[in-house]
Amino acid sequence: MAEPKGYEVIDRDEVTVPRTVAVLDQADGSKLYQNGMAKTWLLGEVIPPDEVAENFKEALEAKEGALYERIKNKLKPVSDEPGEDAAMRLGLPFPGFDDMEVDNIVAAMSVLPSATIQRIKAYEALSEDPRSEIVDYNIGYGEHPDQRQTTDLDAIAEESEENMDDNKAVRRIATRDVPEDGPVKHGEGVTGTGEPQKAYGAEADAEDDKKAGKSANIRGAAKKTQQRRGRRDRQPKPTGGTPKDQGGGSLDKVNE
């Protein structure tokens, strides 16, 4: 068999495989392998040769010895290209992910938790043809960098129009309108510009009443009539007595 391109994990869900850190020559001519920097590999993944300890590779090639007996059911040399199984490592972010269109995925990411979005981005980055709309999605802004350039605003506006609730309170309020020609159309509520106050939605309600054949009150709810403040009671006119007694002062000096 030609030199293998990698070593496949077999018959186990996962295997921890070390690398050779150093090779120590012994006095009898043998070699002692110092292994470490182990990494866990999953079933079906192909491990690159430089990620496998040297004595592991020698045992698998020789197909004999105690070490071979321990690892023969875990690893096997193959001619396939090395690689990790992204789907198995990350798991599908959610069922049906691979069948979804990119626009639908981005729309879902706008309402998903940050941890799930990170998994989606990492899963997509390991695919053969990663889509930038997903990989470069910005969690903070809630969009990908090109979203404002590629979004079909006309379609969004049309969809919003179809789903618009005409009975929503904010859409029944008549606001102040200043046309180029003709008188100003006063708004409803407190406008702060001095015109009479009308109840919110009064014009819309009046229009509905008109269509229904009822009498329309464009001013809305009737206001309470405010009574004018009465004048303060005047001091009663003095009757009898002298001017001094009446608080008007003495006239003696005047008559003098």
Does 249 score more than 60 pLDDT?
Answer: no
If you count DSSP H runs as helices and E runs as strands, how many of each does the chain have, helices first? 10, 5
**1 with 27: CB under 8 angstroms?**
no
**106 with 144: CB under 8 angstroms?**
yes
Instruction: Compute how many other C-beta atoms are within 10 angstroms of the C-beta atom of residue 123.
Output: 21
Q: Which of 28-37, 73-82, 158-167 has the lowest mean pLDDT?
A: 158-167
Instruction: Tell me the C-alpha distance between 219 and 206, whole Å.
Output: 9
pLDDT given for residue 53 in this prediction: 92
Q: Which of 72-81, 121-130, 162-171, 220-229 has the lowest mean pLDDT?
A: 220-229
The winner for highest mean pLDDT among 9-18, 92-101, 184-193, 238-247 is: 9-18
Q: Which residue has the tokens 């819309």?
A: 204
Instruction: Compute how many other C-beta atoms are within 10 angstroms of the C-beta atom of residue 57.
Output: 17
Does 226 score more than 50 pLDDT?
Answer: no
* 3 pLDDT tier (thresholds 50, 70, 90): confident
Q: What is the DSSP letter of 140?
A: T
Beta bridge pairs of residue 177: 185
pLDDT given for residue 21 in this prediction: 92
45 against 172, higher pLDDT: 45
pLDDT given for residue 52 in this prediction: 93
Does 165 score more than 80 pLDDT?
Answer: no
The edge-to-edge listing of strands for the beta sheet with 6-9 is 46-47, 6-9, 75-78
Instruction: Tell me the C-alpha distance between 76 and 72, whole Å.
Output: 7
**DSSP H or E segment with residue 158:** helix 153-162
Instruction: Tell me the C-alpha distance between 39 and 70, whole Å.
Output: 18
Residue 26, CB-side half-sphere exposure with 13 Å CA sphere: 7
- Stated length of the chain: 256
45 against 222, higher pLDDT: 45
Residue percentage of the chain with pLDDT more than 90:
18
**DSSP H or E segment with residue 32:** strand 31-42
Compute the C-alpha angle 245/248/250, nearest 5°. 75
Instruction: Tell me the C-alpha distance between 256 and 244, whole Å.
Output: 16
